[in-house]
A and B are shown apart, each in its own frame.
Chain A
């Protein structure tokens, strides 16, 4: 089911949480709403769900205007950050809830409900917990039960509010993969909110970057990473080195091999992996001094200090594979020459 939002605005007092949002989400996508805290992403999700009312704008789900409709009639499944499981009910009753509150003529029989709940429990691989209460489960288990509960009513759209926010790192990694697979299996249009860019890039098929109540960019993860629309997106997604673009920096960049014909913007953003590092053969070809490095697993992050007369002492980061770094046999304080392959210019 497709989702179309037109001109959504929402104010909390004088604070504009959402500012004329226009967004179109095609059917079957797994979309991440990504942004720093306070950017309005959760508010937007709650407006789509009907848990919050927009001050202006329309919410159209599958071609139907649902702006005025109550949350219970929107055909959405919502997964809350803190699970919001019914703590007075067993896991089984939690999942069965959505089926049991259906109007009599649509309500399945108790046998069908039992069958369906067990099927869902198997889908989330937790059938053995069906008679436990939520308080007896771990965080990851609760989140999966919450998801099964939302899926029980066969929603047209699945909305997840920071689904992995309250979980520890290793559980989070597993669940990300699992959510991706589940989406492949069910193919229900899904939107999840996150402030973790890694999570968004890893799980989503489409990423929507929000900041200060506005959409900064929408696109596939690789698009957003390779072609950031503006300085905010470039800085928010992945690591980046920011150069001011004054004469000094420009000369330094140029000498480091970056071709600059009539400067296309005020600041240059360079990804750490777009910088090649070599041991400097002589004083003249040295662009920087190696200050320190860190192991990031397969990659090494190198901290460099620009080797220029009265340069600001800002650190420049470069990244290279572990093996390559070993071959270079670099030590702290070594003079290095650089080659900058690519930069994004922004105003």
Chain B
């Protein structure tokens, strides 16, 4: 069957896509794979099951998950506020959202560490009021990751909220639904796929984040050491195969998790007739 396209150029664009993906993504990542092949299976296994490495995996993935969840909730509320209401200074605040994209992450880390350390501006208040220490603890990592990943959620949810047909809300209300029911049964299911995308982006960003985290985490072995730091430490000791082994493992776990999120999203969309 002949298909006709309005825009010509399927072959050159596909060719470009493949070449680009090979040069930028596939070849560098496959070197990672081949470099770690220099290790025997046993060595590889020993490196990645080393207690300190396993602990860092736990720290990285839990903090990234928690941070992405919190960023999703906050991001949703912020996007909601921007889309639904107009208030003075909205444009200024809107521009502020993207700042974490532009700021060097190390700067963010240093600033956050200064403020949240036990005698910092917010840190001392949290310490005295609630006995909670943020900086130099896993909680500090979560704070840094929320800061970094918030724009991902806001910017993915915003356009979908904007396009949401508000007469659906009116219809639900006219059928007797309470405000909570309108939100839970009408608005949220329509926004959920976008929120899931935002979550996935925030999560992926969180796992890979290095610059801001090392300043606020304290980097205590077994407690607040993240995987990227383990990799950098190995590299500094010229243990390149060790670094690649950890990196490859992290890559595989991240890939599987993102795949699961994508499948979940597909399922949600299918179930709600959006495909």
- Which A residues contact B (CB, under 8 angstroms)? 49-51, 70-74, 76-78, 80, 82, 84-90, 97-98, 101-102, 133-136, 146, 149-150, 152-153
The residue from A51, A82, A89, A90 contacting B174, defined by CB atoms under 8 A apart: A51
Smallest CB-CB A-B distances: 3 pairs: A133-B273, A98-B175, A88-B272
CB distance from B190 to the nearest CB of A (A): 6
- What are 11 A-B pairs at a CB distance below 8 A? A51-B174, A71-B170, A72-B175, A73-B176, A82-B165, A85-B168, A101-B181, A133-B273, A135-B273, A152-B175, A153-B175
Question: Do the beta carbons of B186 and A72 come within 8 Å of each other?
Answer: no
Q: Which residues of A contact B178 (CB under 8 A)?
A: 72, 101
The residue from B165, B185, B273, B274 contacting A84, defined by CB atoms under 8 A apart: B165
Can you list, as one digit per residue, whether each of B5-48 has a CB less than 8 Å from chain A (1) or not (0)?
00000000000000000000000000000000000000000000
Given A101-B185, A135-B273, A136-B273 in contact, is the A84-B173 Cβ separation under 8 Å? no
Question: Do the beta carbons of B181 and A78 come within 8 Å of each other?
Answer: no
Question: Do the beta carbons of A51 and B170 come within 8 Å of each other?
Answer: yes
Question: Do the beta carbons of B174 and A49 come within 8 Å of each other?
Answer: yes
Cα–Cα, bound, A239→B170 (Å):
38
Return the chain B residue nearest A87 by Cβ.
B273
Question: Do the beta carbons of B167 and A80 come within 8 Å of each other?
Answer: yes
Which of B186, B190, B273 lies at the interface centre, i.e. has the most chain A CB atoms within 10 A of its CB?
B273
List B151-190 residues whose CB lies under 8 Å from chain A: 165, 167-168, 170-178, 181, 185-186, 189-190
Given contacts A84-B165, A88-B274, list 17 more A-B pairs with CB under 8 A. A51-B170, A71-B173, A71-B174, A78-B171, A82-B165, A86-B168, A86-B172, A87-B274, A88-B272, A88-B273, A90-B273, A97-B172, A133-B272, A146-B171, A149-B171, A149-B175, A150-B174
Cα–Cα, bound, A270→B168 (Å):
46
Number of interface residues of B (CB under 8 A): 20
CB distance from B168 to the nearest CB of A (A): 5
CB distance from A275 to the nearest CB of B (A): 46
Q: Is the interface of B mostly helix, strand, loop or mixed?
A: helix
CB distance from A159 to the nearest CB of B (A): 8
Q: Which residues of B contact A82 (CB under 8 A)?
A: 165, 167
Return the chain B residue nearest A81 by Cβ.
B167
The residue from B168, B177, B189, B190 contacting A72, defined by CB atoms under 8 A apart: B177
Which of A72, A77, A134, A150 lies at the interface centre, i.e. has the most chain B CB atoms within 10 A of its CB?
A72
Given A87-B190, A97-B185, A101-B181 in contact, is the A72-B174 Cβ separation under 8 Å? yes
CB distance from B179 to the nearest CB of A (A): 9
Q: Which residues of B contact A149 (CB under 8 A)?
A: 171, 175
Cα–Cα, bound, A136→B272 (Å):
12
Cα–Cα, bound, A97→B171 (Å):
10
Cα–Cα, bound, A97→B273 (Å):
17
CB distance from B100 to the nearest CB of A (A): 31
Can you list, as one digit per residue, whether each of B69-100 has a CB less than 8 Å from chain A (1) or not (0)?
00000000000000000000000000000000
Question: Do the beta carbons of A84 and B170 come within 8 Å of each other?
Answer: yes
Q: Which residues of B contact A89 (CB under 8 A)?
A: 272-273
Cα–Cα, bound, A98→B178 (Å):
11
Return the chain A residue nearest B177 by Cβ.
A101
Can you list, as one digit per residue, whether each of B94-127 has a CB less than 8 Å from chain A (1) or not (0)?
0000000000000000000000000000000000
CB distance from B196 to the nearest CB of A (A): 14
Return the chain B residue nearest A90 by Cβ.
B273
Which of B167, B176, B274 lies at the interface centre, i.e. has the most chain A CB atoms within 10 A of its CB?
B176
CB distance from A166 to the nearest CB of B (A): 12
Question: Do the beta carbons of A101 and B174 come within 8 Å of each other?
Answer: no
Cα–Cα, bound, A133→B244 (Å):
48
